[in-house]
Amino acid sequence: MLEVKKIKRLFKSGDLQVAAVNGVSFSVPDGQFASIVGRSGSGKSTLLSLLGALDKPTSGSIKVDGEDITQLNDHSLIRYRCQKIGFVFQSYNLVPNLTAAENVMLPMEFAGVGAKERQERAVTLLQQVGLTENEIGRKPGRLSGGQQQRVAIARALANKPKLILADEPTGNLDSQTGKMIFDLLHGLAKSEKTTIIVVTHDLEIAGKTDRAFQLKDGKLQEKK
Ligand SMILES: Nc1ncnc2c1ncn2[C@@H]1O[C@H](COP(=O)(O)OP(=O)(O)OP(=O)(O)O)[C@@H](O)[C@H]1O
Ligand SMILES: [Mg+2]
């Protein structure tokens, strides 16, 4: 269960203050798939970073299974990000000198998963997102944008996170591949009770999730 109460994230730039997230409250139970749409600059990436504990809100609380992640110390934060969260970045953030498989194995290494299991799981995940055996052995610079995006999705799933936060995970994919990724995430929500929050510009995807939210100037509204 994710419970967000009155979070704000203010950025100072010179004399100006930008309220990127401006008093957002919502909750999502385990196993629900939610989407967030909103115009460029409406605060979507900022909100996801707060939920993933990559950034701290200026005020407000974010509870995951009853624990307020805005209050965690550095050690607990690392554990939270590594074990509970699967984050798909808008800009992928793959490690350029590691192959696709090694990128997916990296978070498992941090979590202490054995070498053989890491390798097997990485290959399985990369096959699930539709990469070929040859592509799995390539470094990001030799993969297309959509293939890199799918490696980033496989990496986010590596440690079987409770909460998947994905920033436009299908932004670079054709509609058929996008649907495959949507089905994969939807399947995880239902079979593993994973909570999934995707930021998307794809209204077709947004229309098919269990919940649909819209961000406008840092404020969140539930649609439908
Ligand atoms: N580190 C920062 N310092 C100052 N302002 C910031 C910072 N990060 C984001 N902002 C501002 O906060 C607002 C929300 O940014 P955010 O990246 O969350 O938007 P977004 O909805 O993800 O947009 P996009 O669809 O373009 O990715 C924008 O006005 C942006 O300029
Ligand atoms: Mg963004």
pLDDT tens, position by position, 17-74: 999 999 999 999 999 999 999 999 999 999 999 999 999 999 999 999 999 999 999 9
pLDDT mean over 142-163: 96
* CB-based burial label for 176 (10 Å; 0-12, 13-18, 19+): exposed
Distance CA 213, CA 224 (A): 9
The confidence score (pLDDT) of residue 42 equals 96
Task: Tell me, in angstroms, the distance from the centre of ligand 1 to residue 130's CA.
Answer: 31
Top mutation candidate among 13, 18, 36, 56 for ligand 1, by most atoms within 8 Å of CB:
18
Query: Is any ligand 1 atom within 6 A of the Cβ of residue 43?
Result: yes
Ligand 1 atom at minimal distance to the Cα of residue 215 = 21
Q: Is the CB of 22 under 6 A from ligand 1?
A: no
**Residue 6's Cα: distance from chain center in Å?**
21
Can you give the pLDDT at residue 33? Answer: 96
Ligand nearest to the CA of 17: 1
pTM, 2 dp:
0.94
Residue 124, pLDDT > 80, answer yes
% of the chain surpassing 70 pLDDT: 100
Sheet holding 85-88, edge to edge: 85-88, 163-167, 195-199, 33-37, 211-216, 219-223
Measured by CA distance, the residue closest to atom 12 of ligand 1 is 20
Q: Cα–Cα distances in Å, from 33 out to 5, 59, 189, 216?
A: 19, 26, 6, 20
Cα 9 to ligand 2 centre (Å): 15
SS3 85: strand
Ligand 2 centroid, distance to 39 Cα (angstroms): 9
Which pLDDT value is given to residue 224? Answer: 66
Domain layout of the chain by residue ranges: 2-223
Can you give the pLDDT at residue 13? Answer: 87
Q: What does the mean pLDDT of the chain come to?
A: 95
Residue 36: is it exposed, middle or buried by C-beta count within 10 angstroms (0-12/13-18/19+)?
Answer: buried
Q: Record the tokens describing residue 52, joined without a space.
A: 């993933």
What pairs with residue 26 in β-bridges?
4
Helix (H) or strand (E) holding 151, with range, is helix 145-157
Contacts of 101 (CB under 8 A, 6+ apart): 119, 122, 123, 126, 136, 137
Of the CATH numbers 3.30.930.10, 3.40.50.300, 2.60.40.2310, 3.30.70.100, which one belongs to the domain with range 2-223?
3.40.50.300
- Is the distance from the beta carbon of residue 17 to the nearest atom of ligand 1 less than 6 Å? no
Q: How confident is the model at residue 98 (pLDDT cuts 50, 70, 90)?
A: very high
